[in-house]
Amino acid sequence: MIKKALTLFLTSGILMSFTTVPDSDKFEKKANRIHEKCLTVDTHCDTPMLMIKPGFSVRDENKAPHSRVDLPRMKKGGLDAMFFAVFTSQKPRTEENYQKTYALANQMLDSIHAMLKKDSDLATLALKAEDLAKIEKTGKRAIYIGMENGFPLAKDISRVEEFYKRGVRYITLCHSFHNDICDSSSDGKPAEHNGVSDFGKQVIAEMNRLGMMVDVSHASDKSFFDAIELSKAPIIASHSSVRAIAQHNRNMTDEMIKKLAAKGGVIQICLLDEYVKNPDTTTVNYKRIKQIRKIYANDLDKMTEAQKDAMFKEWDELKAWKQKDMPSVKDLCDHIDHVKNLVGVDYVGIGSDFDGGGGLMDCGDVSQFPNITKELLRRGYTETEIRKIWGGNLLRVFREVEKTAEKIKTNPHLASL
């Protein structure tokens, strides 16, 4: 009897193993099929900061040390489009710093255009929302350009159009400190403009006229509410998460998300650990990472290449050391769930912040993006919803921004209403 029962137990176990494997295979195939069908867009990486370094190449991950983004891994991860952000840190607003920052921004733009020329068999510059579908059919990666921090504009409104003509399709109004455009969410000093400045109002109006997306990531809460009222077109948060889940001042409150959605905008959930999950702030590791972030924000352009390499190496080691405590894709999808439950699935997307601090335990670079699709599918998201999250929502906003520019072009008085 015992022998018979044992035989039945073992037989049932074997049968169960055979019945569960096909289900797992079926799930993987379904997830991969959905991911492949999506027009996938990541709205923020800081890779251009690395691209100006000698020997760096996005064509070969072996020549992209410390980077989370390159063209082969984009293809492997099924990422169709990436916004390469021209990032400049905020400095004291002196004439010398204006000139240096303007030159640095143009150097990064030069590097992007040089890469697109050199690697034209792998990637193509995208300028309009409709470009992505056309480029995707060629099998190449679509490269859009953003600008993180409006500091390179100095106080010259003509530079908005100048950068637009160079391919820039969104401007993140500020970074970690107040600038001439608006107040930052991270500056420890009192608000300078109480939101968006008079110059900032001109910048937003000019972006509307040209068809550039207004990006409110890094902006203070008051700057956000000002920007959303000033803009004639929907706005984006290119790499921000939900403050109700991770209490970081860079994240958006429920009130902000509701306002963003009411105006047709989109919040692109960021993969940076502290924006995804509240960290243990008592650890030595956390304190050192905070110090490095401060150096990154304030002193990067003062450092030698050797010092930068040492800093990035330490950053990678600290992140690897902390890997078991890093947030996961499940934590990221909690943010997507929150936005969906709060305002609907039409107002959320993905903005990784790779090469600017972004990265999760199970999504450390662009090649691992399918893990997000798999988790969304596990949670019951439909194919239509997943397609919206991965690019549909952002492209909708982009098209509305372009339509607004066309309306202003036809009826210039609309810009002043």
> CA 240, CA 51: separation in Å to the nearest integer?
24
3-state secondary structure the chain: CHHHHHHHHHHHHHHHHHHHHHHHHHHHHHHHHHHHHCCCEEEEECCHHHHCCCCCCCCCHHHCCCCCCCHHHHHHCCCCEEEEEEECCCCCCCHHHHHHHHHHHHHHHHHHHHHHHHCCCCEEECCCCCHHHHHHHHCCEEEEEEEECCHHHCCCCHHHHHHHHCCEEEEECCCCCCCCCECECCCCCCCCCCCECHHHHHHHHHHHHHCCEEECCCECHHHHHHHHHHCCCCCEECCCCECCCCCCCCCECHHHHHHHHHCCCEEEECCEHHHHCCCCCCCHHHHHHHHHHHHHHHCHHHCCHHHHHHHHHHHHHHHHHCHHHCCCHHHHHHHHHHHHHHHCHHHEEECCCECCCECECCECCHHHCHHHHHHHHHCCCCHHHHHHHHHHHHHHHHHHHHHHHHHHHHCHHHHHC
The string of pLDDT tens digits covering residues 56-75 is: 999 988 877 789 999 999 99
| Separation of CA 209 from chain center | 24
Q: Is the model's pLDDT at 283 over the cut of 90?
A: no
What's the mean pLDDT when you consider all of the chain?
92
Share of the chain above pLDDT 90, in %: 79
The string of pLDDT tens digits covering residues 177-197 is: 999 999 999 999 999 999 999
What confidence category does residue 22 fall into, taking pLDDT thresholds of 50, 70 and 90? low
Q: Provide CATH 3.20.20.140 ranges for the chain.
A: 37-277+327-416
pLDDT of residue 416: 67
The string of pLDDT tens digits covering residues 111-155 is: 999 999 999 999 999 999 999 999 999 999 999 999 999 999 999
pLDDT of residue 239: 98
The string of pLDDT tens digits covering residues 306-323 is: 888 888 788 778 777 677
Fold observed for domain 37-277+327-416: TIM Barrel (3.20.20)
Note the pTM of the prediction, 2 decimals: 0.90
When pLDDT is averaged across residues 29-41 and rounded to a whole number, the result is: 97
pLDDT of residue 10: 41
pLDDT of residue 62: 82
